[in-house]
Chain A
Amino acid sequence: NAGVTQTPKFQVLKTGQSMTLQCAQDMNHEYMSWYRQDPGMGLRLIHYSVGAGITDQGEVPNGYNVSRSTTEDFPLRLLSAAPSQTSVYFCASSYAGTGIYTFGSGTRLTVV
């Protein structure tokens, strides 16, 4: 089915470990974004991309890296996980100029 696929759905990391959250979309959307959701904080933008090779920082980029080598994929990397990065992470994508985003089902990350 067409949509935004996030893997894994759940992950537990130890402090200092690294990992990559995967996000892939098959709708040929130009725009992709990563958000984190924390209780009482809504969704906060981490990084976003308007096309392959183009990325920019959002509201809470520290501790996260991204790259966009293809239109389909937008991985989010945690280089050295911290307990403050315990959260639910959502990836979203849209066609340029529409503002209408499709969201993945999320990755629940716990850092201990």
Chain B
Amino acid sequence: AQSVTQLDSQVPVFEEAPVELRCNYSSSVSVYLFWYVQYPNQGLQLLLKYLSGSTLVESINGFEAEFNKSQTSFHLRKPSVHISDTAEYFCAVTESSGNTPLVFGKGTRLSVIA
């Protein structure tokens, strides 16, 4: 079975500052890793994913995450945040067979301050 730990429940950051949202996972088998974003009063949207290949993955809106197998981490970073990035971010894991349900962390609420 897999598990996910998101180390920060809330992260306040000023606009245009960098941010890192931390995610660690536990699994005895190879995994796929995901970051989902949930804007206020909306559903979940896939932000980025690691399936295989390059350990650095990027989203279209400037976020990136790096898969670190030795540290079992998949931290999410953005060099300069905008007010519109205010949302809740969820890290999720599944077996790399893709045949098990997603297991989610408890979420990190990112608040961008003007």
Residues of A bordering B, CB below 8 Å: 31, 33, 35, 40-45, 48, 50, 58, 90, 92, 94, 96-101, 103-106
Please report the C-alpha to C-alpha distance between residue A66 and residue B90 in the assembled complex, in whole angstroms: 25
The 9 closest A-B pairs by CB, nearest first: A99-B98, A42-B106, A97-B98, A99-B32, A43-B104, A105-B43, A99-B94, A103-B44, A42-B104
Given contacts A40-B9, A42-B90, A43-B104, contact A50 B43 (CB under 8 A): no
Determine whether B103 belongs to the interface, using a CB cutoff of 8 Å to chain A.
yes
What are 15 pairs between A and B in contact, CB < 8 Å? A31-B99, A33-B101, A42-B90, A43-B44, A43-B90, A43-B104, A45-B101, A90-B44, A92-B102, A94-B98, A99-B32, A99-B51, A100-B98, A101-B46, A103-B45
CB neighbours (8 Å) of A103 from chain B are: 36, 43-45
Chain B nearest Cβ from A71, distance in angstroms? 16
CB neighbours (8 Å) of B42 from chain A are: 105
Report the nearest B residue to A95, measured CB to CB: B98
Report the nearest B residue to A4, measured CB to CB: B43
Report the nearest B residue to A43, measured CB to CB: B104
CB neighbours (8 Å) of A104 from chain B are: 43
CB neighbours (8 Å) of B44 from chain A are: 43, 90, 103
Interface residue ranges of B39-90 to A (CB < 8 Å): 42-46, 49, 51, 90
Please report the C-alpha to C-alpha distance between residue A100 and residue B94 in the assembled complex, in whole angstroms: 9
Which of B9, B90, B105, B106 counts the most chain A CB atoms within 10 A?
Answer: B106
CB neighbours (8 Å) of B9 from chain A are: 40
Chain A nearest Cβ from B97, distance in angstroms? 7
Query: Are B101 and A48 closer than 8 Å at their CB atoms?
Result: yes
Please report the C-alpha to C-alpha distance between residue A112 and residue B17 in the assembled complex, in whole angstroms: 43
Report the nearest B residue to A91, measured CB to CB: B43
Please report the C-alpha to C-alpha distance between residue A27 and residue B108 in the assembled complex, in whole angstroms: 30
CB neighbours (8 Å) of B97 from chain A are: 97
Query: Are B46 and A100 closer than 8 Å at their CB atoms?
Result: yes
Given contacts A40-B9, A50-B99, A90-B43, contact A100 B49 (CB under 8 A): yes
Please report the C-alpha to C-alpha distance between residue A106 and residue B43 in the assembled complex, in whole angstroms: 6
